[in-house]
Structure 1
Amino acid sequence: MTFLPTLRNLVSAYQAFERYSAPDVKAMGLTTTQFDVIATLGNQPPMTCKELGEKTLVTKGTLTGVLERLEAKGILERKLNPEDARSQMIGLTTVGQTLFEKVFPAHLSHLNKVFEKLNTKELAEITKSLQALKNAFEK
């Protein structure tokens, strides 16, 4: 079981990320899931619920409730898919796009305070290692 130290460090890194990231998102009046959806839809054409689910870290069951709450707040809208009436296209409203333009750069700036502590080589190594781990799970 030589992978246990790697697993522990992966989980610890994710937990540290959440402890740093989540309060910033919460201060913006959003949950991390709402932020993920808004960040994914920002500056993008509308997409289906399936596409949105694939591009976010949100499970289908959770996504439905999040979309309903964001729609009720006027942040996103759903329209019938002109190419397939069985699905809907989801996109940000003008209010939602304005919110994205405010919160997304602010949160990236917050995260940059940590990532700028790593040099280019370290970031490249981490990216390569995480991609290798992801690929190992997907095979």
Structure 2
Amino acid sequence: MNHLSLVKELVQAYQAFEAHSAAHIKEMGLTMTQFDIIATLGNQPPMTCKELGEKTLISKGTMTGVLERLEAKGLIEKLMNDEDGRSYKIGLSKTGDKLFKKVFPEHVEHLGKAFRKLSKQELEQAVTVLKEVKAIFN
């Protein structure tokens, strides 16, 4: 067996996970990117666009449009940045926080149902191997 077998399995595992996760998020009325932003802002103090981009890995171009749509839905709010008057910070609105408190635990439980098919030992082994694979590229 060579490394291409591992690459194939990694890609297929990620695609299967992404499809399973995205379908549930869509059922909740959100896109993956919107969910990513709401989940990142949940239980956190407001943050700048740059900080949000670093934590979510969403590109600046995509971020602007998604933030505009979330703001139009009343889920986020822009606040003056006391540390830098030229920029603002983004936080969840009361409506956004309420949504976060509903969708985040629901999604964690949705994923948990799938991962419960693995034993505790299998989960630990998978985490260990994935960390080792990631370390190869860091």
Q: Do both share a fold (TM > 0.5)? A: yes
SS of residue in 1 equivalent to 2:91: strand
Q: Distance in 2 between matches of 1:136 and 1:67?
A: 34
Distance in 2, Cα, partners of 1:55 & 1:103? 19
Q: Does structure 2 retain, via aligned residues, the 8 Å contact 1:36–1:57?
A: no
Letter in 2 for 1:115: F
Question: How many residues end up aligned between the 2 structures?
Answer: 138
In structure 2, runs of 5+ residues without a counterpart are: none
In 1, the alpha carbon distance for the partners of 2:86 and 2:137 equals 32
Q: Which moved more, 1:12-21 or 1:119-128?
A: 119-128
User: How far apart are 1:6 and its partner, in Å?
Assistant: 0.9
In structure 2, the partner of 1:62 is 62
Following TM superposition, by how much is the alpha carbon of 1:18 offset from its aligned partner in structure 2, in angstroms?
A: 1.6
Deviations 1:14-41 (Å, cap 9, x if unpaired)?
1101221111101111001100110111
Shift of 1:130: 2.0
Question: What is the CA distance between 1:134 and its match in structure 2?
Answer: 2.4
Aligned position for 1:89: 89
**1:84 partner SS:** coil
Q: SS where residue 77 of structure 1 aligns?
A: strand
| % same residue | 60
Inter-partner Cα distance in structure 1 for 2:129 and 2:82: 41
* 1:65-105 per-position Cα deviation (integer Å, ceiling 9, x unaligned): 11111011110011221112233211100000000011111
Tell me which moved more, 1-10 or 72-81. Answer: 1-10
Q: Which residue of 2 aligns with 1:39?
A: 39
CA RMSD of aligned residues (A): 1.5
Structure 1, 121-130 or 38-47: larger mean CA deviation: 121-130
Residue 109 of structure 1: aligned partner: 109
CA contact (8 A) 1:42 1:97 kept: yes
Consecutive unaligned residues of structure 1, counting only runs of 5 or more, are: none
Query: C-alpha offsets along residues 116-137 of structure 1, whole Å, 9 cap, x if unaligned?
Result: 1112222122222222222322
Aligned to 1:25: 25
Partner amino acid, structure 1, of 2:44: Q
**1:10 counterpart SS class:** helix
AA aligned to 1:36 is D
Per the alignment, residue 52 of structure 1 pairs with: 52
Distance in 2 between the 1:74 and 1:102 partners? 16
For residue 75 of structure 2, what is the aligned residue in structure 1?
75
